[in-house]
Each structure stands twice: as structure tokens, then as C-alpha cells.
A and B are shown apart, each in its own frame.
Chain A
Amino acid sequence: MFNTYLEVIRIRFLMMLAYRVNYYSGIIIYSLNIGVYYFLWMAIYGNNQSLQGLTAVQMATYIAISWMARAFYFNNLDREIAQEIRDGTVAIQLIRPYHYLLVKVFQGFGEGLFRLLLFSIPGMIVVSLVFPIVLPTVGSVWLKFALSLLLGFIVNVELNLLTGLLAFFVLNNQGLIRAKRVMVDLLSGLFIPITFYPEWAQMILNYLPFQAISYLPSMILVKGLSGSEWIHALLIQIAWCILLCIPIQMIWNRAKKTLVVQGG
């Protein structure tokens, strides 16, 4: 059973490898984004040594790491699922002897793994040469970050599954998918670390799953969170991983009953 899913990861990885040229432009795009936010944030810091508990160098590192982490957790599973529902291929997927959603998750993981190895790591090396960032040298911090990154990936995948599955009910959910992507980028802390938001916004964001995707992993790496702070961050991520399974399962059960295949 587990071998099936390993195979799914492998195949997706190889598929991505076949189209690797696409990813060189991706590295440039991510570097450009890191660039614009780097300069803006440095202008914001001006003569301030530190804002909201982050020094200017930590901020630069935060920007770089959060974009490179995005390369890992970002995927188009929502779009793929919606597409398969719309063109009817989901009907064939459903009669195959595997769990459709789990296969999607592992496909996303294969894609993420590819980008992590061939995109984030070389990208990070380039970025660390261009911008003055400081990466931790302690192995345990990287291990904590890796674990947190994986949990962030799971939360993001779960949100993708949710938006993708809505295509069962609204038939054309392209707009919703785009809106979700923008919301995730803004509220996950990719552009602005959560602590920079006004108090009232932080209150709300602390009760939303988005911070688990980008903000918490990046903070673990940048500030090297340890002890109770680290446990707290980890618990938030795990809680969202589990909580989000509930609506997915509910929608999935209903979707299977109401499936309407347009053509196919």
C-alpha cells in the first residue's frame, strides 16, 4: 500500500525533472521577489537596528527563507483537482484502487521535493551570495526547520484540497482558487511577518491556519526558536494538520455522492 504512494512521489519527481527548464526562470522570479521585498524592508528599517524583535539581518534572512520555503510548499493541486473534476477524468481516478486525495497529496510532495532540491537549495546559495543574510550553522535548528516546513506543507496541501474539491459543487472555481492563493501569500506571513501586523489583525491571524504555512517555519529558522516557544509553534502546526482533515473528509464524502461529470 505504502509502496504505491512512494511510486507516486517518484513518478511526479521524474515528471518535474523532464520539464526542469521551466524552473530556471522560477529561480529568477523568486530572486526578483526576494529583491523587491529586501529593498523595501531595508528602507523600512532605515536607521532602526531592530523592529518587532527582528534585526535587519534577521529580516533579510526571513524574506529569503520564506520565499525559498514557498517553492517547496507551493503547488497547484487545487487547480489539478478542479481540472480533473471539470473534464471528467476524476471518474476514472475514483474507480482505481487507491485513495484519490492521498495520491494528490503525494504528487504534491514529489513536486515539492523536486523544487526543494533543484530550486530552493541552489536558489538559497545564489541569494546568500547577493544579499547579506545569515543562516544558522547549528544542525538542530535546520532539523527543527525541516520538520516545521513539512508540517507547513501539509497545512497548505489541505487548504489546496479544500479549494480544489469545491469544484464538485460550483463547477468553475478558478476565481476561488486564485483568491485563495492571494490570501495564503498575504496571511501566511510571506510578505509580512505576523508580528508586524497591528494587534487586532494578529489576534485574528493567530486563530487562522495560514501562519502554520510560512510564518512559523521561517521564524524557527531565523530566530532559532527553542524550548517552549518551539513546542508551541509545533503544536499549532500539528493542530491545524489534524483539524483541517475534518472538513476535507466531510466535503469528500458529500462530493462522491453529488458527482456530476460534464462529458468525459
Chain B
Amino acid sequence: MFHLKLFLEYFKQYMKVRLAYRWDFLAQFVTDFLFQAVNLVFILVIFGHTSQLNGWNRYEVIFIYGYFLIPWAIFSAIFNLWDFNERYVIRGELDRILTRPVHSLVQVIMETMTPESLIGVVTGFIVMGWAAMGLDLTWTWLDPLLFLLFALGGVAIYAGIFITLTSISLFTDSKSDIQPIMFNIGTYGRYPINVYHRVIQFVLTWILPFAFVGFYPASYLLDKSHWQWYAMITPLVGIVYFCIGVFVWNWGIRNYRGAGN
């Protein structure tokens, strides 16, 4: 309850800041949409030259991409930790956070969140829905529930990995560019995993489990039974990686010495 009230206050503050530059706010929507459209255009264009991608047809690949957009949008709305190192460690804002009686990670998340990214959820549903119309899918009453679990699991995986990487800044104040690398590995998870080399498949499943964010759950929803056990453990993988992230963060906070004066 307390955290909810805190969130509302932060949210109000955030909206005031964003609405100061109204056009920029609008432009953000448009560019987010463009980013998503670019990948869609890529899929549409390549299927002009082939009827299937290692056994996946046009609509299935679009469906996987549409599904991926949903956990991705939720993740990027909440966990916008890209400039954590610059803002909190180098400029020392973390010291301010640490004097307050709320968990440091919660505060940092609330200060950096970008709720407008949630629009990606809508885009995701539109893309998925459009693809589903071209497919013959049979969904039971259980599937929407699983969908929710899968999506949250995907968010937790992304969050866990990014919190872990962000925590590196707590141990060293030098700049590390690992986050963008992770972001780029993440893009591998939104295409059918069997187009990649075996080693890459293994990495995407067990080491940096980005395949659980997009491909595995989506393939389950596409009624492909081959990967269904992977899909089922999505929430579990999410919990594990999220716990690792929070653990490393707390460890880093205990270790944190502040930068300079």
C-alpha cells in the first residue's frame, strides 16, 4: 500500500516533467512505434522471398515477434536503468537514495521508469492478433492464464539480467558497456531459435535465457509441442534470474563506497 502511494506520487511527478516538452513526448511514441515497425517490415520483406524460415511460416514468425513486444514493453517501462552508472554512481545520486527508508532498487526504478513504453503492449497485441488471424490456433481457457505467466516470466528474466549488469557499477565506477551488448543479444530471442547454430541455441536457453522471453512461450501459444516444456519453465527461469539480480544488487549496495568526495 505504502509503495503504491509512493509510486503514484512518482508517477504524477514524472508526467509533469514529460508534459513540459509535449512534442517530444509525442515524438517518443512515434519513434517507439517506428522501432517496432522496422522489425516488422524486415519480417514482411523477407517472406516475399521465401515461404518458410526453417519450418516457420510468415504469420508464425510475426506472432513470435508480436508476443516478444509485450514482455519487452513492460520491461522497458519499469526497468530503465541504462544511465544508472552515469547518473547514480558517477554523479553520486545514489548517496541520496541510500539515506531514505525505502529499498534502494525500488527507489531507483521509480525515479527512472518510463511508463509511456507500455504502449508497446498494445502494439504487441495488435501484431499478435493480426498474425493469429492468419493462423488456425486453438486456445483453451488455460492459455490466457499461461500467457500472463509467460509474459511476467519474460519480464523477470530481462529484469534479472539487467539488474545484475547494472549492479556491476556498484563495484566499480568505471563505465562498462555490457548493457548494450545484452540488449543486442536479446534481439536473438525474437526469432525462431532453430535458425541459429547449436551453440547459440544453448546460450540463449541456459546462460542468457533470452529465448524464454520471446520464442519458447510464443511457440507454445502457436501449438507447437516440440518446445512446450521449455515454455512451461519460463516463470521458473524468470524467478531464478530475478532473484540473482536482486541478490547481486543487494550485495553491491553493501559493497558500495561512493565515487569521489
Interface residues of A (CB under 8 A from B): 22, 25-26, 28-29, 32-33, 35-36, 39-46, 48, 51-52, 170-176, 178-179, 182-183, 185-186, 191-192, 196-198
Contact = CB atoms under 8 A, between A and B. Distances in A.
B97 to A, nearest CB: 26
B45 A198 contact: yes
Contacts, number: 90
13 contacts: A29-B181, A32-B181, A32-B188, A39-B197, A44-B49, A44-B50, A46-B50, A170-B23, A172-B24, A173-B24, A175-B28, A179-B31, A196-B48
Nearest to B178: A25
B45 A178 contact: no
B177 interface: yes
> For A25, A45, A48, which residue has the most chain B Cβ atoms within 10 angstroms?
A25
Contacts of A197: 45
Nearest to B41: A186
Contact of A174 (B27, B45, B50, B180): B27
Interface in B197-251: 197, 200
Given A22-B175, A29-B184, A196-B45, A40 B31 contact: no
B139 interface: no
B42 interface: yes
A172 B23 contact: yes
A206 B175 CA distance: 42
Interface residues of B, number: 35
A35, A36, A41, A175, most chain B CB atoms within 10 A? A175
Contacts of B191: 36, 40
B185 A43 contact: no
A182 B42 contact: no
Contacts of A198: 45, 48
B4 interface: no
A182 B35 contact: yes
Contacts of A32: 181, 184-185, 188
B195 interface: yes
Q: Chain A at the B interface: mostly helix, strand, loop or mixed?
A: helix
A25 B188 contact: no
A45 B195 CA distance: 11
Rank and list the top 8 A-B pairs by shortest CB-CB distance, nearest first. Answer: A175-B27, A25-B177, A43-B195, A172-B24, A32-B184, A179-B31, A178-B31, A43-B53
Given A36-B188, A174-B24, A186 B49 contact: no
Contacts of B177: 22, 25-26
A176 B31 CA distance: 8
Interface in B142-188: 175, 177-178, 180-181, 184-185, 187-188
B31 A43 contact: no
Given A29-B180, A35-B200, 9 more contacts: A32-B181, A39-B196, A40-B53, A43-B53, A174-B27, A175-B27, A175-B28, A185-B38, A198-B45
B60 to A, nearest CB: 13
B34 interface: yes
Contacts of A171: 21
B49 A43 contact: no
B181 A52 contact: no
B47 to A, nearest CB: 8
A127 B167 CA distance: 31
A191 B31 contact: no
A26 B181 CA distance: 8
Contact of B34 (A48, A172, A174, A179): A179
A40 B49 CA distance: 12
Contacts of B41: 186
Contacts of A42: 195
